[in-house]
Amino acid sequence: MKIKRQKHAKKTISFYKYNFSFREPFQIIIDGTFCHAALKNKIQIKEQLPKYLMGEVQLCTTNCALKELETLPKELYGAKLILQRFQIRRCKHTNDPVPASECLLSMLGETNPHHYFIATQDQELTKALKKIPGVPLLYIIVNTMVLDKPSERTLKHVEAVQLGEIVNPSQQKSIQSLKEKEGLGKDGEDKRGKKRKRKSSNPNPLSCLKKKKKPLPPQCKKTDGEKKKRIRKKKRRPVGGEKAIGSDPTNA
* Angstrom distance (rounded) from CA 199 to CA 118: 49
Considering only 93, 130, 149, 153, the residue that binds Zn ion (CB under 5 A) is 93
By CB under 5 A, residue 145 contacts Zn ion: no
* Angstrom distance (rounded) from CA 121 to CA 126: 8
Distance of CA 188 to the CA centre of its chain: 31
Binding mask 34-73 toward Zn ion (x if CB under 5 A, else -) reads ----------------------------x-x---------
State the minimum distance, in angstroms, from the CB of residue 42 to Zn ion.
Answer: 29
Whichever of 128 and 155 has its CB closer to Zn ion, that residue is 128
Considering only 53, 79, 82, 103, the residue that binds Zn ion (CB under 5 A) is 103
State the minimum distance, in angstroms, from the CB of residue 32 to Zn ion.
Answer: 13
Paired residues of 62 in beta bridges:
89
Distances (CA, A) of 34 to 79, 95, 122, 162, 192: 8, 25, 8, 34, 54
Considering only 85-93, 144-152, 159-167, 195-203, which stretch makes contact with Zn ion by CB under 5 A? Answer: 85-93
Q: Helix or strand or coil: residue 110?
A: coil
Whichever of 62 and 112 has its CB closer to Zn ion, that residue is 62
By CB under 5 A, residue 91 contacts Zn ion: yes
Cβ 167 vs Cβ 175: under 8 Å? yes
- What is the longest distance spanned by two Cα atoms in the chain? 110
Whichever of 83 and 158 has its CB closer to Zn ion, that residue is 83
By CB under 5 A, residue 125 contacts Zn ion: no
Helix count and strand count (H, E) for the chain: 14, 6
Considering only 12-20, 45-53, 100-108, 173-181, which stretch makes contact with Zn ion by CB under 5 A? Answer: 100-108
State the minimum distance, in angstroms, from the CB of residue 75 to Zn ion.
Answer: 23
* Angstrom distance (rounded) from CA 44 to CA 39: 8
Residues found near Zn ion in the complex (CB under 5 A): 62, 64, 91, 93, 103
